[in-house]
A and B are shown apart, each in its own frame.
Chain A
């Protein structure tokens, strides 16, 4: 067995991890709020991909646009309805409310769509890379995820709107006195952040052909935290890069643990990720990619 295919498929999965975490990282950077409902929005994106595919035969990349719109609307509502009114009462209140919201969304999903695992398969062929058959759909998903991450970074650097977001991240009071409508930046960041999270959920379905379920979000919230911490919370390209890294670690870990004969190699790979999180928190709490 060769390591390279595992490395490659780790990179491809990691690109999707990176994408789903961008939203978490953006929301934390701007609003200083940890979106503990993250996984539930990933789940909504996954269901959107599933229903659009089986009902209207939409390819997931078309659904991504719809998911972005739904996510943006939900993100805006979350800001107006939860984060803004509770922010003055303290961080813990927002955290608890978002946790409750995440659980509520999962329960509503269960009421509407049932508790069973569902899934779909979008097969558009495969290509051979370094001796490994890779689904074109997965490869395209990874490339698109990279493109989205880079465009978001460019948006933040090159546009007035993006600069206003960066200004709020660096000093909200300074942003206010130069004439930035900080409240609007907060609302827009929540909307874009959750929109991207939802799109991440759509892309994720390419990798989990039978893994869509109302409660699927939990692990992704955890993985999201690991990635965001690795990348340095609030650093977008850091989050994406950390996503790649985590995908590779997960994939290589799975390989190593299976070769070593462990009964549950994927569980062990997950253990490896959290061990890494612990180490980073202990020795480099600002993240691997932030000075």
Chain B
């Protein structure tokens, strides 16, 4: 298993957000975590990354306990996060942002190869490489955020709401690119756009009020009455 969460709980201050979440991300698969606003999807990713401290439970990265590992060490171990709001370095150029993505020692050694790989994946970024990140369109910034995370050569990529604020055409292009990543790594995708996420997922979990309430293969979830009513609008 590339990543597994066992009975993970966490929150902010005294406010508990996650109540014993368990999920598994097998190697070379796309797993999606779906659910409404405020369910704890982003908190799950922040907790996995170590930015939010886990209260209980365990985080295993390729079978090794990484529950208390700080974020910068997690990146070294092969975990990368494309955060909500993208969190790019706005004053740096596209290429400088990408080079920052290869900050860890492991990634630095192969930075030229990786750069070619992400430019091949997102040719638009190659065209824009001298442009300042803060001046790009939302879709381009999202590409850059994913590309920057790829620069660390992750084994598990966590992506938070890549579709947020983007036009449907751009979302579907972006999701096709994410699908291609499966050949190289595992992806844990957090999404509110349930229909788009189910299309590229191998397996999905539904999170509500900090608990996993449903899980299954995409076709099972798409046929589920609750999912249909609450998330697919049919």
Residues of A that sit less than 8 Å from B by CB: 160, 163-164, 166-167, 170-171, 173-182
- Within the complex, which residue of B72, B88, B91 is in contact with A179, where a contact is CB–CB below 8 Å? B72
Query: A167 and B100 in contact (CB under 8 A), knowing A174-B89, A176-B71, A180-B72?
Result: yes
In angstroms, Cα B151 to Cα A174, docked, is 14
Question: What are 29 A-B pairs at a CB distance below 8 A?
Answer: A160-B103, A164-B103, A166-B89, A166-B92, A167-B89, A170-B89, A170-B90, A170-B91, A170-B92, A171-B87, A173-B51, A173-B83, A174-B86, A174-B87, A174-B88, A174-B89, A176-B51, A177-B49, A178-B101, A178-B149, A178-B152, A179-B71, A179-B72, A179-B103, A179-B104, A179-B107, A180-B103, A181-B70, A182-B72
Asked if B72 and A173 sit within 8 Å, CB to CB, the answer is no
In angstroms, Cα B90 to Cα A167, docked, is 9
In angstroms, Cα B90 to Cα A171, docked, is 8
In angstroms, Cα B105 to Cα A180, docked, is 11
Asked if B83 and A178 sit within 8 Å, CB to CB, the answer is no
B76 at the binding interface (Cβ < 8 Å): yes
Residues of A within 8 A of B101 (CB): 178
In angstroms, Cα B108 to Cα A170, docked, is 21
In angstroms, Cα B84 to Cα A174, docked, is 10
Query: A174 and B83 in contact (CB under 8 A), knowing A166-B92, A180-B72?
Result: yes
Residues of B that sit less than 8 Å from A by CB: 49, 51, 70-72, 75-76, 80-81, 83, 86-92, 96, 99-101, 103-104, 107-108, 148-149, 151-152
Residues of B within 8 A of A170 (CB): 89-92
In angstroms, Cα B71 to Cα A171, docked, is 15
Extra pairs beyond A171-B90, A177-B83 (14, CB < 8 Å): A160-B103, A160-B108, A163-B100, A166-B91, A167-B89, A167-B100, A170-B91, A177-B49, A177-B87, A178-B101, A178-B149, A179-B71, A179-B72, A179-B107
Total number of A-B contacts with CB less than 8 angstroms? 64
Residues of A within 8 A of B90 (CB): 170-171
Nearest first, the 5 closest Cβ-Cβ pairs linking A and B are A179-B75, A174-B87, A179-B104, A170-B89, A181-B72
Asked if A171 and B81 sit within 8 Å, CB to CB, the answer is no
Query: What is the CB-to-nearest-CB distance from B136 to chain A, in angstroms, rounded to a whole number?
Result: 15
Query: What is the CB-to-nearest-CB distance from B86 to chain A, in angstroms, rounded to a whole number?
Result: 8
Asked if A177 and B92 sit within 8 Å, CB to CB, the answer is no
Asked if B75 and A177 sit within 8 Å, CB to CB, the answer is yes
Residues of B within 8 A of A180 (CB): 72, 103
In angstroms, Cα B49 to Cα A282, docked, is 42
Residues of A within 8 A of B148 (CB): 178
Residues of B within 8 A of A173 (CB): 51, 83, 87
Query: What is the CB-to-nearest-CB distance from B98 to chain A, in angstroms, rounded to a whole number?
Result: 10
In angstroms, Cα B81 to Cα A167, docked, is 16
In angstroms, Cα B90 to Cα A170, docked, is 7
- Within the complex, which residue of B81, B99, B107 is in contact with A177, where a contact is CB–CB below 8 Å? B81
Residues of B within 8 A of A175 (CB): 89, 100
In angstroms, Cα B71 to Cα A132, docked, is 58
Query: What is the CB-to-nearest-CB distance from B112 to chain A, in angstroms, rounded to a whole number?
Result: 15
In angstroms, Cα B149 to Cα A33, docked, is 29
Query: A171 and B89 in contact (CB under 8 A), knowing A177-B83, A178-B101, A180-B103?
Result: yes
Residues of A within 8 A of B151 (CB): 178
Residues of B within 8 A of A164 (CB): 103
In angstroms, Cα B49 to Cα A176, docked, is 10
Residues of A within 8 A of B88 (CB): 171, 174
The residue on A at minimum CB distance from B98 is: A178
Query: What is the CB-to-nearest-CB distance from A269 to chain B, in angstroms, rounded to a whole number?
Result: 35
The residue on B at minimum CB distance from A179 is: B75
In angstroms, Cα B212 to Cα A86, docked, is 37
Residues of A within 8 A of B83 (CB): 173-174, 177
Residues of B within 8 A of A179 (CB): 71-72, 75-76, 103-104, 107, 152
The residue on B at minimum CB distance from A181 is: B72
In angstroms, Cα B91 to Cα A287, docked, is 17
Residues of B within 8 A of A171 (CB): 87-90
Residues of B within 8 A of A160 (CB): 103, 108
Q: Name which of B92, B103, B149 has the most chain A CB atoms within 10 A of its CB.
A: B103
Q: Name which of A163, A171, A174, A177 has the most chain B CB atoms within 10 A of its CB.
A: A177
Q: Name which of B72, B83, B148 has the most chain A CB atoms within 10 A of its CB.
A: B72
Residues of A within 8 A of B72 (CB): 176, 179-182
The residue on A at minimum CB distance from B105 is: A179
Query: What is the CB-to-nearest-CB distance from B59 to chain A, in angstroms, rounded to a whole number?
Result: 16
